[in-house]
Amino acid sequence: MTDALSNSGSDGFGIEIVPVTQFQQNCAILFDPGTKAAVVVDPGGDVELILAAVERLGVTVEAIWLTHGHIDHAGGAMALKEKLGVEIVGPHEADRPLLENIEKQAQMFGVGGALRNAYPDRFLAEGETLALGDLRFEVLHCPGHSPGHVVFFERSLRFLHAGDVLFAGSIGRTDLWGGDHATLIRSIKEKVLPLGDDVSFICGHGPGSTVGRERLSNPFLR
């Protein structure tokens, strides 16, 4: 959550963060308060918590969007899809091997059996646009943390969902399958920083920030 973007939303936009799984991943419910149309981004698990938040907000979920294929972001996607009857959209197809090995990741990390392999209805590519009510989210392919990582940018709101690419004061880890530090730095410098210092972002773990704050102070971007 950032200063500029509160739970009640600004400029007709709502964000609800639901921390899920033992990794405390920020599952995000993005919604249009007027039409109550919503998307759930990165339902990593604890699907009952996500469903309770959806009910509390009174929103109608139209789709599940995935930033990337890691277990803590995609492990609850199939269960949520079945509960809500909506499509899973994203990430980029390069993360297919991660998505199809979530159950193996669960064994590796020693986490519960509720997390399942995810099979998106549609993968995403650089330059696509996703609609949510009147909002338009541009898809940017930002590999490095994982090969198929995408981020979602709403240009008019100056809002970015950065997934695990960029955090407040840190960046995504690159020691997991398909990760590459130089590629991640290039994604941040060539795709994220040019969006503008005034862009506020939320991310997969911890608090959000702004692009400008990270450009000036993030130790990984020196």
What is the binding site for Zn ion (CB under 5 A)? 70, 72, 164, 204
In the complex, least distance from residue 40 CB atom to Zn ion, rounded to whole angstroms: 15
DSSP class of residue 193 equals G
Residue nearest to Zn ion (CB): 70
Could you give phi then psi for residue 122, rounded to 5 degrees?
-155, 130
Report how far residue 68's alpha carbon sits from residue 65's, in angstroms, rounded to the nearest whole number. Answer: 9
Token pair in block for residue 200? 């506020």
Which ranges in 11-100 belong to alpha helices (H)?
47-57, 71-74, 77-84, 96-99
In the complex, least distance from residue 181 CB atom to Zn ion, rounded to whole angstroms: 14
Report how far residue 59's alpha carbon sits from residue 145's, in angstroms, rounded to the nearest whole number. Answer: 31
Residue 37 or 171 having the CB closest to Zn ion: 171
Report how far residue 149's alpha carbon sits from residue 147's, in angstroms, rounded to the nearest whole number. Answer: 6
In the complex, least distance from residue 35 CB atom to Zn ion, rounded to whole angstroms: 30
| Residue 102 parent element (H or E) | helix 102-109
Half-sphere exposure of 103 (CA within 13 A, CB side): 8
Residue 144 or 204 having the CB closest to Zn ion: 204
In the complex, least distance from residue 99 CB atom to Zn ion, rounded to whole angstroms: 12
Residue 71 or 132 having the CB closest to Zn ion: 71
Residue 62 or 164 having the CB closest to Zn ion: 164
Residue 108 or 131 having the CB closest to Zn ion: 108
In the complex, least distance from residue 147 CB atom to Zn ion, rounded to whole angstroms: 12
Contact indicator for 70, 99 with CB cutoff of 8 Å: no
